[in-house]
Amino acid sequence: MLQLDLGPVGEAFPEAALDQLQVEFQKTLGLSELKLVSDELGQRSHNLRRIWQRAVAWRADYRPIYLDNRDKHSLRKVRSYLQRLRADLEIFEGRRRLQGALTIRSWREAEGAEAQRLAEELLSYRNQTWRRSLDSINTELVDLSRMVEILAGEDRLDQLADLKDNQLKPSLERLARELTRLRAAGQLRSEELPAAVVQELNEALFGRGYAIYEEYQTIRPGKGGLYLLAWQRLGLLQQREGLQAEALRELQQLEALYPPLASLTQKRNKELARKAERSLANGALDLVMLSLLTLGGFFGLGWQIIRMTQHQLAALARLRQQNELILSSAGEGVLGVDRQGKTIFINPAGARQLGWEQQDLVGQSYQQILACRGSEQNLFDPISRALQQGSCHRSDEALFCRRDGSQVPVACVVTPMHNEQQQIEGAVVTFMDISDRKAAEQTLRRYYDRLAEQEQALAELNKGLEQKVAERTRLLEEKSRQLIVTQEELAHAEKLAAIGSLAAGVAHEINNPTAIIRGNVEILQAALGQPGDYQEETDEILHQVERISLITGNLLAFARKKNLKRKDFDLNELLEEILDQVGHHISIDGIEVSFVPDNEIPPYHGDGEGLRQVFTNLVINALQAMGETGVLAISTCFQNGQLSVQVSDTGPGIPADIQGEIFNPFFTTKDNGTGLGLSVSYGIVQAHGGSLEIQNVQTGGACFNVLLPTEG
Ligand code: ADP
């Protein structure tokens, strides 16, 4: 209605149709849902009626604006008015020029005073005020035409307003003023350049009832006018959008009433069927009674009987018609079967959903539509149950069969039909195509499946991540353990280096006085002459000086940078030499010495003198630890690219609490020990890239293991 032609509204609001619908529902009394649906329907009709009225009003508003707009927007009118004014002006000027020419001719022919008067008239011609008015009218008209052309091509409303407010309007006012002046000077006849044309120009451009604010020259909206028209038209078009949206909403809500209407239809159907049966029964009774009366001679009442019967039949026909109307307008499929299972009726929606023509399905067995023949669905036959047991059956998801054999999922309710004697007459099947719902469910299921897959993938990813984190943590812990060990080694090395440099300084300082003491004691011995005189004392001094030299030598060995003098030698031979020499210095009578060399070991490339010192230290320590008896065991072997020398004894072993300290310089548990043997040995082995390990053996005693790499 809002988009069609803008002629007067021809059709009226379909009040009657809505009222009729209401009335139809009112007839079905006793149904509780009816009130709700009826109220809802009433509310919707009321709203629709209101929208209709507003739409009619809108059309009334829009029509003149639309027509005005169509007329004026082209500016045809304005152009023609301006053309007319310019034509009038040219005619007027032509006339004035002709008049001037005639005056000049008269002046030429005239003589005396007349010639003088005419000459003055001709001279004053150019100076006259009306002449200036004429020029400015000409200018204004040219300006106006130019501006109107701009106006016609311009589509920005703000620029139009500016052009009109500040240029067009003043120009028109000047034109009107000059015309009035010209007319007042008696130069214009009434039909020449009529003032009405200026008025019409004003109205065409600014609309009827326009007025100007004096201070700002701003146009106050009157009726019509191009600017106002455009503005109003826009407003009305927006109103139209609003109305259409509202109407659409109402219609959608009306559509939402279909499902409850369909269920009401079914109930109404039953009600009407019962009424019809009652009416027929009553009709038949009346007929019998009236027949008796007729037989009794009341022929006069015959006509009355026939009329009543006709009324009953007409009522019945009306009921049937209403029945059919309701059935055909229902959105659900409604199918009726008789006791034998033959289809006796189907409504259009049902036939459409099953792909049958209504008339073709009537008379067919309901088996035609109950699932596909041969499929398992046949096992579930709610219609035959309803026909046999007289009970209602409801299925939210059954399969019906279309005429072309394809299946359609439906939600259905099967209700048995009883006659007055409560015998089963047939059944009514109400069903609704749920393909859309099923499709939506399937899509949803697919989404769920995908979600589950993604969750599983995520869980696996998490598991992998956890494993990686655990692995990384283990590696980090290992690295940090190595770091701690390295730090400890570094600290130890730094400590040794500091002690070493201090020791070297002290040893160096002690060496000189020791040499002086030794020299002087020797001089003293020579001076004393007799071997018995103070021999013991001077020998003791020399012995202690020797000892001091030994200590300082050890100190210097410890502190000295280990510049190894490497060459190939046999480690087994070196060890045998050491054992021989030690025997000369220390008593090893009560000691059992066991040397088990590995004869397969390769020659070792190292500093033989340095290593001699190491093994001598270890052997002496072992012998000192054992005292007079015990077993000193020495063995060599070669494995994994390393030479290994083990020196073990059967002494008391090394207590656990001092194992970390025995390699520190000056650590000793012996009364006359220096505590430098192991620390010097440790330094020499390290300089060879090897290691010196200590372990207690199970039988008691200590075992030192020297590992020397042969490669790199
Ligand atoms: P010193 O022999 O002068 O004491 P060392 O550096 O050679 O200096 O030894 C340091 C200490 O290590 C010894 O005092 C001793 O307590 C311990 N030690 C070394 N070897 C053994 C061993 N075979 N059995 C028991 N203790 C030992």
Quote the ligand 1 centre to 662 CA distance (angstroms): 7
CB-based contact 118:106 (threshold 8 Å): yes
Is the pLDDT at 298 greater than 60? The verdict is: no
**Ligand 1, residues 678, 684, 704, 705: which to mutate, most atoms within 8 A of Cβ?**
678
pLDDT digits (tens, 9 = 90+) for 470-520: 999 999 999 999 888 888 877 877 777 777 778 777 887 888 888 889 889
Return the higher-pLDDT residue of 23 and 692: 692
Nearest residue (by CA) to ligand 1, atom 26, is: 654
Residue 399's DSSP bridge partners are 409
What spacing in Å lies between the alpha carbon of 675 and ligand 1's midpoint?
Answer: 7
What's the pLDDT at 584? Answer: 77
Q: Which atom from ligand 1 is nearest to the alpha carbon of 676? A: 6
Is the beta carbon of 692 within 6 A of some atom in ligand 1? no
pLDDT score at 33: 61
443 contacts 429 by C-beta, under 8 angstroms: no
Q: Say which residues have a Cβ less than 8 Å from residue 642's Cβ, sequence separation at least 6.
A: 690, 707, 708, 709, 710
Q: Rounded to whole angstroms, how far apart are CA atoms 371 and 629? A: 109
- Nearest-5° Cα angle at 684, 682 to 689: 90
Element (H, E) at 123: helix 112-125
The pTM for the full model equals 0.37
Q: What is the pLDDT of residue 286?
A: 60
What average pLDDT does range 457-474 have in this prediction?
A: 90
Tokens, residue 186: 């008696």
What Rg do the C-alpha atoms of the chain give, in angstroms?
A: 65
The CATH classification number of 563-709 equals 3.30.565.10
Ligand 1 contact, 695 CB (< 6 A):
no
Ligand 1 pocket, 594 CB below 6 A? Answer: no
Report the run of H or E that residue 577 belongs to, with start and end: helix 571-585
SS (H, E, C) 62-84: HHHHHHHHHHHCCCHHHHHHHHH
How many angstroms separate the CA atoms of 521 and 538, rounded? 7
More confident residue, 157 or 429: 429
For ligand 1, say whether the CB of 654 is within 6 Å of any of its atoms: yes
**C-alpha span between 265 and 604 (Å, rounded):** 112
> Is 625 near ligand 1, meaning CB less than 6 Å away?
yes
CA 642 and chain centroid, separation: 65
Q: Cα(652) to centroid of ligand 1, in Å?
A: 11
Q: Measure 353 CA to ligand 1 centroid, in angstroms.
A: 107
Amino acid at 37: V
Q: Residue 297: its pLDDT value, please?
A: 41
Mean pLDDT of 143-159: 67
| Helix boundaries (H) for 168-225 | 169-184, 195-206
Task: Give the separation between CA 100 and CA 416, rounded to whole angstroms.
Answer: 113
Contact (Cβ atoms closer than 8 angstroms) between residue 467 and residue 441 = no
pLDDT at residue 254 is higher than 80? no
CA distance 324 to 361: 17
- Which pLDDT tens digit goes with each residue over 221-238? 444 455 566 667 777 878
Bridge-based pairing of strands 630-639 and 591-596 is: parallel
Residue 395 has a pLDDT of: 83
For 335-433, which CATH class? Answer: alpha beta
The two counts, helices (H) then strands (E), for the chain are 19, 14
Residue 699 backbone class (left: φ over 0; alpha: ψ -120 to 50; beta: rest): alpha
Ligand 1 centre to CA of 619 (Å) is 11
| Distance between CA atoms of residues 558 and 674, nearest Å | 12
Using the mean position of ligand 1's atoms as its centre, give its distance from the Cα of residue 644 in Å: 21
User: What is the pLDDT at residue 25?
Assistant: 60
